[in-house]
């Protein structure tokens, strides 16, 4: 039996398809009540419930964040005012870099993943040490879970960063400035519901999460 959040996802996909075709303030203001009642508020409830599921699965508290529909256009050439997608993030409380979980819904995709983003300076150096020390275990955990690298985050470097050798066995991971694994929701996920579908996807990602959590304990 579905948990009811399938209706929210279908509403979001239809709404964002229309918003993508008419990304204007006039369109959004005319449909703001629909967005708030049928998408934003159910998404906030789902995010709260799934945070509890993640706490049980990982043994550590997670806080949810439903990203704003309004785009920050101050430093962007693209001045369209609204994001034509629903993105939700679950991360450990605090400001330190820790592995986070994410969900995205748009007309083009329904995706779920986990990783460490925003790697700069000390966090980036720590990531590279983790890859150097535990890269084989990391890739083995990915293979065991049937996981693939996500393209979320900045483009990787063209060369392996120093002091690591160009022929390092984990050269491709060392080039990355963010690390995430992701997968699409399977066909028929609506039959059980969104939360059961996401919880099923958490399980193969947990071994990767544990490696990242050990390297980024917060």
- Phi, psi (5° rounding) for residue 208? -70, -45
Q: DSSP letter for 38, please.
A: I
**Planar angle of CA 182, 184, 187, nearest 5 degrees:** 155
pLDDT at 94: 82
Q: What is the pLDDT of residues 159-193, one digit of tens each?
A: 999 999 999 999 999 999 999 999 999 999 999 89
Other CB atoms within 10 A of residue 190 CB: 16
The CATH classification number of 5-215 equals 3.30.930.20
pLDDT at 218: 75
pLDDT at 162: 94
- Phi, psi (5° rounding) for residue 213? -65, -35
Q: What is the pLDDT of residues 79-106, one digit of tens each?
A: 899 999 999 999 998 878 999 999 999 9
Helix axes 121-144, 194-215, angle to 10 degrees: 130
Q: Which helix (H) or strand (E) holds 90?
A: strand 86-91
Mean predicted confidence (pLDDT) in 115-141: 94
Q: DSSP letter for 70, please.
A: B
Q: Write down the pTM of the prediction.
A: 0.93
- Tokens 């034509």 correspond to 84
- Integer Cα distance of 215 and 123 in angstroms: 10
DSSP E strands: which ranges in 51-142? 63-66, 86-91, 100-106, 109-116
Q: Is the peptide bond before 28 cis (omega within 30 degrees of 0)?
A: no
- Integer Cα distance of 126 and 119 in angstroms: 9
pLDDT at 96: 82
Residue 217: band (very low, low, confident or very high) from pLDDT cuts 50, 70, 90: confident
Residue spans per domain, the chain = 5-215
Closest CA to 99 of 60, 134, 155, 70: 60
């Amino acid at each position: 039996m579905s948990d009811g959040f399938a209706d929210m996802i279908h509403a979001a996909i239809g709404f964002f398809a229309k918003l993508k075709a008419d990304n204007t303030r006039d369109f959004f203001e005319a449909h703001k009540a629909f967005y708030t009642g049928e998408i934003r508020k159910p998404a906030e409830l789902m995010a709260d419930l799934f945070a509890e599921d993640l706490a049980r699965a990982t043994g550590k508290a997670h806080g949810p964040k439903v990203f704003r529909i309004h785009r920050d256009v101050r430093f962007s050439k693209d001045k369209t005012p609204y994001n034509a997608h629903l993105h939700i993030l679950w991360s450990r409380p605090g400001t330190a870099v820790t592995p986070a979980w994410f969900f995205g819904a748009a007309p083009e995709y329904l995706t779920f993943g986990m990783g460490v983003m925003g790697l700069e300076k000390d966090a980036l150096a720590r990531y590279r040490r983790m890859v150097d020390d535990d890269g084989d275990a990391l890739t083995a955990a990915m293979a065991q879970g049937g996981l693939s690298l996500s393209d979320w985050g900045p483009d990787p470097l063209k060369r392996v960063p120093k002091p690591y050798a160009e022929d390092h066995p984990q050269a491709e991971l060392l080039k990355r400035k963010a690390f995430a694994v992701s997968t699409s929701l399977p066909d028929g996920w609506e039959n059980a519901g969104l939360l059961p579908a996401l919880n099923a996807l958490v399980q193969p990602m947990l071994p990767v999460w544990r490696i990242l959590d050990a390297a980024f304990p917060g």
